[in-house]
Amino acid sequence: MTFRLLTALPVHNEEAHLVPVLAEVCKYSQDVLVIDDGSTDRTPELLSRMPDVRTITHEVNQGYGAALRTAFEYALENEYDVLITIDCDGQHEPKLIPTLADAVFPADGPAWDLVSGSRYLQQFAGDSAPPEDRRRLNQEITAWLNCQFGWPLTDAFCGFKAYHVPALAKLQITELGYAMPLQAWVQMAAQDWRITEFPVPLVYLDEERSFGGSLDDVRRRRAYYYEVLKRELQATHQPCLAGCDDAESIR
């Protein structure tokens, strides 16, 4: 099947990884968009030397979610069929972009609205050991989403995803930080998105990457994630189901 593909990378101060990651991404995707989210290192300079890569610049840092929202808007405005999002820290394998994009259109049924990368769906040779606090929190939030929405997800936070672009028009992203995927999951459930997962290797190159301010504390990050979930359930008029793990925390 022929379709228009855009690959987008949210970037903030990624001078250490930018050039090699983009060189690989450009091998597997003709149209590449970088959202430079207020970088203050050499990222803007390096991007200026890449005329084949489209860059949208946020003059000040707005957050991971804000960068993805810009990517969604660009994909919709330019009428792409599939949007791949991939992080620029080297933890995703660009060679999987074509296969991930193709997976949006299965041969035996309608298009998936989202094909979400999962680092825990299967094991690969050479997989990293994730930071334990991140793994536990990912497991907890993923289990809560599965309980609440009846899903079989294994990885709620992987940034390597393929979206069927028309579905993005219904998302209303207001969560601009790293909790943005949680807002999106709740909205996807309310809109009955067709969702599946795609196995990707588990690679951690920067275990000390900051979530920003107080969210670097895992307890505060956990509390904020549940706050976002509670707020979005209320906004989409969905009840919190009794019996879900930590349901009391988000009522």
What is the reported pLDDT for 75?
98
Q: Do residues 104 and 115 touch, judged by C-beta distance below 8 A?
A: yes
Name the pLDDT band for 250 (thresholds 50, 70, 90).
very low
pLDDT at position 209 is 55
115: left (phi over 0), alpha (psi -120 to 50) or beta: beta
Q: What is the set of domains in the chain, with CATH numbers?
A: 5-132+152-210 (3.90.550.10)
Q: What's the whole-model pTM score?
A: 0.93
Residue type, 160: F
pLDDT at residue 214 is higher than 70: no
**Mean pLDDT over residues 7-31, rounded?**
96
* Average pLDDT estimate for 55-60: 98
Whether residue 92 has pLDDT greater than 60: yes
CB–CB of 175/183 below 8 Å? yes
Per-residue model confidence (pLDDT) at position 128: 75
Cβ contacts of 107-112, under 8 Å, gap ≥ 24: 110/194, 111/164, 111/194, 112/162, 112/164, 112/194, 112/195, 112/196
Nearest Cα to Cα of residue 235 among 194, 144, 167, 174: 174
What Å distances lie between residue 152 and 41, 52, 146, 243, CA to CA? 40, 39, 6, 17
pLDDT in tens, 110-160: 999 999 999 998 888 777 777 788 899 999 999 999 999 999 999 999 999
| Portion of the chain with pLDDT greater than 70, in percent | 92
**Residue 123 corresponds to which tokens in the numbers above?**
């094991």
Mind giving me the DSSP string for 46-84?
Answer: HHHT-TTSEEEEESS---HHHHHHHHHHHHHHTT-SEEE
Mean pLDDT, rounded, of the chain: 92
- pLDDT of residue 199 exceeding 50, the answer is yes
Average pLDDT, integer, range 98-112: 96
Q: Model confidence at 44, in pLDDT bands (50, 70, 90)?
A: very high
Token couple for 32: 């590449």
